[in-house]
Structure 1
Amino acid sequence: MHKVAVIFTGGTISMKIDPRISAAIPALSSEEIMSMVTNIDKYADIEIVNFARIPGPHMTPQRMMELSKLVKKLVKRDDITGIVITHGTDSLEETAYLLDLTINSQKPIIIVGAMRNSSELGYDGSSNLSAAICTAISEQSKHKGVLIVMNNELNAASEVTKTHTLALDTFKSLEFGPLGIVDNDEAIFYREITKHIHIETETIEERVDLIKAVAGMDSRLIKFCVDSGSKGIVLEAMGRGNVPPMMVEGIEYAVSHGVVVVMVSRCPMGRVLDTYGYEGAGRTLRNLGVILGGNLPGQKARIKLMLALSTTNDLKRIKTIFEKGFYQ
């Protein structure tokens, strides 16, 4: 019998309606959640690990690192086949990506959540959790990095994002599609992940900000972040990787003060590239020292920069972490 450690952190999967306020709050214990996953004892021996009972927006980078350290300990145990982590969906992709970058293990690590709380009709927590456990015990799930299992789809932490505020299939790999599916309690994979990096660190640099570029934007927010002690800034630029001209001064200000600037696109798909050469365009920004962040969304690029800055301040090394494989 396979043993799966199920780490409970909270989220909608642990929520029900509190009649006093007529709103959902974390309330279910780990045992209560597992009791709704019927017949799972036929597939795996479950070891419950209580980490937290918080909603997704209460997750922090420090808590993510604590979770990473816990998972590293668990995967070293010979009796553990795989790890399943319940998580709030609002920050699930950020935690998943951090774990994917910091944990180097062949064992399956699965993150799962729910879009409906247990007081709602069609609560999806138990079905998602059973699918996650079935994925964790599958031989096919090894060497895949961290996976997200929701709505019977298998997605890579490095590719998936939350796309809808309500839909059960909210987690999608928009550019490449899912890795596979869970069908008849079996994980079935259709493709492999071609890019996978690992950042060895036990700490995280939290002073990294995220700024979204919009029409007519100037440099005030960038300068404020720099003057407030930012070590890194992620810019969600327009299109292929361009910003309004009035932002250039702020970017120069950041780079001259030793702040690492990484640029991604605010578009949901496609990588940034220094295709254009006008003022504020990608070629101008790259010549200033801006690092290109590939096809990552801003929230994931921020996690990656936090981890990179925890290991080095060398701009060339950080550039390699972000650009290797995309621009070589």
Structure 2
Amino acid sequence: MKNILVVFTGGTFSMKIDESTKAAVPFFHGEELIKMIPEVEGKAKISIYEFGNYPGPHMTPGLMLELSKKIKSFILKKDIDGIIVTHGTDTLEETAYFLDLTIKTEKPIIVIGAMKTSSEPDWDGPKNLLDAIHIINNPNSRNLGVLVCLNGEINAASEVTKTHTENVETFHSLDFGSLGFVEKGRVWFNRLPRKLEHFETEKININIDLIKVYAGMDDKFFKFSADSKTDGLVIEAMGVGNVPPKAFEGIKYVVEKNIPVVLVSRCPAGETLDIYGYPGAGKWLKQIGVIFADYLNGQKARIKLMICKGITNDINELRKMFEE
């Protein structure tokens, strides 16, 4: 049997309904949760590390960096064959992507969560944990980067996003589809991740803003971000990468202060391209030095820029990290 370390960070997986408030709150710790899932017995040799009991919105980039360092130290041990991380679903894709960018290993790392609490009859936490164990037990799961598995669907951390507020079928890779799935304990892979990247760093820069563009937007928020001394800005533009004319003037203001600006689309799927030439369109943004971020969404581009800014402040180097 494989030796699997389960790293508990909290989230709905560890919650139950509080009787006084009738609302879900963090409650169980790792040892208690494993005892509540007897089906785990005989599937693997499980050990537990308690990282914390954080609701998803309480996870920070600083905690992500700490978690990454912990997992790096664990994954080097010969007696650990794979790692499962339980996490709150609200920020799961950001932490999973952070781990994917900062940990290089052949061993499988699977990030899971739950959309239902242990107080609900359809609690999905146990199935997600069992599916993750099956993935690690499968020999084809090596060298795939960090994976995310909920509701039986296996996705690459670099591609997956949360698409529904409460449905268990919420995590999807909208551009390229899932890598595979788990069905009745059997693991099926249909493809490899589109891209695997790794950045070796001991620090990050968390002073990165994220702004979403809207119809009729002016330069106000962009100037505020720059004047507040942000170290980087991610912009969720319209369509394939376009902004209103007044917003363009705000972005130009940021760029002229030598602050790196990374462009993504506010659309749920698709890449950013400089194919339009009217004022505020992609051609104009590219000409002033805005960095185009391929298929990343806003929250992932912000995670990547934090990591990259921990390595270099050179905008040309940052451009290579995103565009090449």
Q: TM-score range by the shorter chain?
A: over 0.9
1:122 aligns with 2:122: yes
1:121 shift after superposition: 2.0
CA distance in 1, matches of 2:67, 2:321: 23
Given that residues 8 and 30 in structure 1 are in contact (C-alpha distance below 8 angstroms), is that contact kept between their aligned partners in structure 2? yes
Q: Deviations over 1:41-88 (max 9, x none)?
A: 212111100000010000000000000001100110000000000000
1:13 aligns with 2:13: yes
Q: Deviations over 1:181-209 (max 9, x none)?
A: 11221322111123111111111100000
Higher mean C-alpha displacement, 249-258 vs 10-19: 249-258
1:134 shift after superposition: 1.6
* AA of the residue aligned to 1:62: G
Given that residues 237 and 266 in structure 1 are in contact (C-alpha distance below 8 angstroms), is that contact kept between their aligned partners in structure 2? yes
CA distance in 2, matches of 1:111, 1:105: 15
* AA of the residue aligned to 1:228: S
Provide the TM-score with structure 2 as the length reference.
0.98
Partner of 1:221: 221
Equivalences for 1:1-328 in 2 at 5 Å?
1-324=1-324
Q: Deviations over 1:77-113 (max 9, x none)?
A: 0000000000000000000000000001010000000
Q: Deviations over 1:118-160 (max 9, x none)?
A: 1112000111111112212221110000000100110000110
Given that residues 96 and 111 in structure 2 are in contact (C-alpha distance below 8 angstroms), is that contact kept between their aligned partners in structure 1? yes
Q: Secondary structure at the match of 1:31?
A: helix
CA distance in 1, matches of 2:131, 2:185: 6
CA distance in 1, matches of 2:125, 2:212: 33
Q: Secondary structure at the match of 2:78?
A: coil
Q: Secondary structure at the match of 1:119?
A: coil
RMSD: 0.8
1:282 shift after superposition: 0.3
CA distance in 1, matches of 2:187, 2:22: 38
- Name the % identity: 52
CA distance in 2, matches of 1:103, 1:320: 20
1:37 shift after superposition: 2.2
Listed as ranges, the gaps of 5+ residues in structure 1 are none
Q: Secondary structure at the match of 1:49?
A: strand
CA distance in 2, matches of 1:20, 1:183: 38
* AA of the residue aligned to 2:171: F
Given that residues 141 and 187 in structure 1 are in contact (C-alpha distance below 8 angstroms), is that contact kept between their aligned partners in structure 2? no
Q: Secondary structure at the match of 2:16?
A: strand
Which runs of 4 or more aligned residues in structure 1 lie more than 4 Å from their structure 2 counterparts after TM superposition?
Answer: none
Q: Deviations over 1:256-299 (max 9, x none)?
A: 11110000000111100000111100000110000001111100
Q: Secondary structure at the match of 1:25?
A: strand
Q: Secondary structure at the match of 2:41?
A: helix
Q: Secondary structure at the match of 2:199?
A: coil
CA distance in 2, matches of 1:194, 1:227: 37
Paired residues, what number?
324
* AA of the residue aligned to 1:47: S
* AA of the residue aligned to 1:301: A
Given that residues 37 and 127 in structure 1 are in contact (C-alpha distance below 8 angstroms), is that contact kept between their aligned partners in structure 2? no
CA distance in 2, matches of 1:25, 1:204: 30
Provide the TM-score with structure 1 as the length reference.
0.97
Q: Secondary structure at the match of 2:310?
A: helix
* AA of the residue aligned to 1:120: E
Given that residues 29 and 50 in structure 2 are in contact (C-alpha distance below 8 angstroms), is that contact kept between their aligned partners in structure 1? no
